[in-house]
Amino acid sequence: MQKIIVLGLLGFCSLEDLKYKHLTVIYILMFGIGGVVLHLFMPVCSIYSILCGMLIGAFMLLVSLITRGSVGLGDGILLVVTGVYLGGYGNLVLMMMGLLLASFWSLGLLALKRRQRKDEIAFVPFLLLSYFVMLCGGV
């Protein structure tokens, strides 16, 4: 059940990020509240794991504030919510694999001279792709 919810959340946010280049926070927060309620009735991981997963998203929020928006606040909030569903290890794998995929894509765009160094790319589709890899790989 939770895998389908995370897949839906990342899919919805990916479309929004690609189309509008920003995320609507209220939808993400509704998924977060739903995740907390779902864990009350069907716990998948411990509360400590959930808090560690949310801490990873909080770290991304801090990075966003320090870099003055180079990393979007919506990406950090999304990672806080995915931490509720995936726990610490799962959210760390999701974020690291997403960063790795985004960096390969960015390097390819730079090498082909399709984008400049300061251009923005949507990050959430890479999180969706990394979640697909996690589901297929059994991570």
Two tokens, residue 33:
């509240």
Q: Give residue 113's pLDDT band: very low, low, confident or very high (50, 70, 90).
A: confident
Is the model's pLDDT at 69 over the cut of 90?
Answer: no
Segments making up each domain of the chain, as ranges: 2-137
Kindly state the percentage of the chain with pLDDT values over 90.
Answer: 74
29-51 pLDDT per residue, tens: 999 999 999 999 988 889 999 99
